[in-house]
Each structure stands twice: as structure tokens, then as C-alpha cells.
Amino acid sequence: MLNSDTRLYALFGDPVSHSLGPVMHNAAFKEGQINAVYLAFRVSKIEQAVDAMRNLKIAGASITIPHKETVIPFLDEMDDLARDMGAVNTIVNRDGTLVGYNTDARGAVDPLGRVCDLSGKRVVIVGAGGAARAVAFGVKQKGAALFMVNRSEARGRALADEMGATFIYKEDLKRVDPEIIINATSLGMAPKIDDIPLDPGILKPSMIVMDIVYTPVKTALIRAAMEKGCVAIDGLSMFVNQGAAQFELFTGTKAPEAAMKKSLIKVIENR
């Protein structure tokens, strides 16, 4: 029940109509019997949204494209990880002090850590956007040998240099012989569910393949990986993990990850 004591949490981004963040977080609030609500706001000017957090006492916010970097000057504090990454995906309002965090790296690394030790592994990340930055940062922190592929060579090389990684072309994948491949692009997202970011011929049973896309859960890349006998990690795992970390920052309580994932699967299956 909504009342005057209900805490408001928000998603700020543009666009936001596709986001399943409200489904996941509201399911978590319900499961934890927390008097709170999470709503999505399409925001073009992030400074005005941050002002609204202060004036309306919004308890916390998720930050998505295109504001993860541009929001930083309007915050009061940042934790070390967000500062090192140069990107914020979570804001917590601590009695009027707005503190920025980043849970994206944890979202990617935790599912990988459950199936392997990343230290020394040859990891190829496809993409050079905000998601690729977060994944690269998390993987690099774990001691992986990082390689990056991107359609735009200039952008790919720039991020690779920043992350201490090696930029390669798609044709170089066989030579690198990656042990882990991560798609950090939107290729394969609905409605273009047959798009795939690389030649499936590169895949082999010993590989771990991860996709950040979660609509559909089984993307063309994940399907191809499963057919080749790879260990496949779908995008829902990363999304739930970063969302669980956000929930814990928001509430100070352990996230009900099973309920969060169940709520997402139900919505995705009904689409």
C-alpha cells in the first residue's frame, strides 16, 4: 500500500520504456515487505533529475544511458570504485547527501566467478560502450588478460588503451584463442533476435560465453554457445546481480535475488 511513508526510488535515463528495472525492484520491495516504490523517469537533463532527488527526497536512483558519466559533477560524493570507473549507475540519498556508486562491474564478474577463476584467463569483450567499460573494469580487476573487439576501431582502441587491454579485429579471434567471450553490445536484443556479434564458428566447448542482453534471455549468441557445448551465461544473470547490489545499497538489507529473477522471467515470457 502506498502512503505518506512510502520511499520513492527512481530510474533516470533516456530511453527507459524498455527497462525491466521497475519490475525487478518492486518485486524485491514486495518480497522484503519494504514500503517503497521504484518508478522509471525519462530524463533528458540529468542535472534537473538530481535536483528533484534533493527537493523531493527521493531515496535512491538507478542511472542508465546516457547519464552514467554526465551525472558525476552533480553528486556530493562517490565511492572509490565508481570514481575509478568514471561512471555511476546508482545514487543513494543519505540524509540529503547524494552518493554515487557503480554495481555494473559486480553484475558481470559475479556470474563469471561462479564458474571460473578469471585470473590469467584470456577474455574477449565485444563492444566499447558504457556496458563494455564496466565489464572490462571488473574483469581486469580480477587479473584477466583482456582483449577488446569493436565495430568502430577508434572507439575500441581508446577504451582498450584506457583499460590496459589489447584491441583486436574479429579476424584475430582464432589467433587469440579466447577462453571467455563477452558480448557487451546490444546485438541480439529484441526485436532483432537473430543478430549475433561474432561468427559462431569461433565457439568451442571449452569456452565460457556471456551475453549482457537479456531480452530475449536466450539470444542468438547464447543459443549458439549452448549448441557448441560452451558454458553459457545469459544477460539476466548480470542484470539481476547488478540490481541486487543496487537493492542492498538502497535498503541495507540482502536482496531477494530469486524473487527478482522470477519476476523478470515471468514478464519476459509473457511478452
Kindly list the catalytic residues.
68
β-strand partners of 7: 36
Using an 8 Å Cβ cutoff, are 18 and 69 in contact? no
Using an 8 Å Cβ cutoff, are 165 and 148 in contact? yes
Which residues touch 251 (CB under 8 Å, ≥6 apart)? 32, 34, 36
Nearest CA among 111, 122, 98 for reference residue 176: 122
Nearest CA among 1, 2, 29 for reference residue 247: 29
Task: Give per-residue burial for 58-97: e unless 16+ CB within 10 Å, then b.
Answer: bbbbbbbebbbeebbebbeebeebbeebebbbbbbbeeee
Using an 8 Å Cβ cutoff, are 65 and 14 in contact? yes
Using an 8 Å Cβ cutoff, are 27 and 59 in contact? no
90-94 and 60-63 beta bridge pairing: antiparallel
Which residues touch 254 (CB under 8 Å, ≥6 apart)? 248
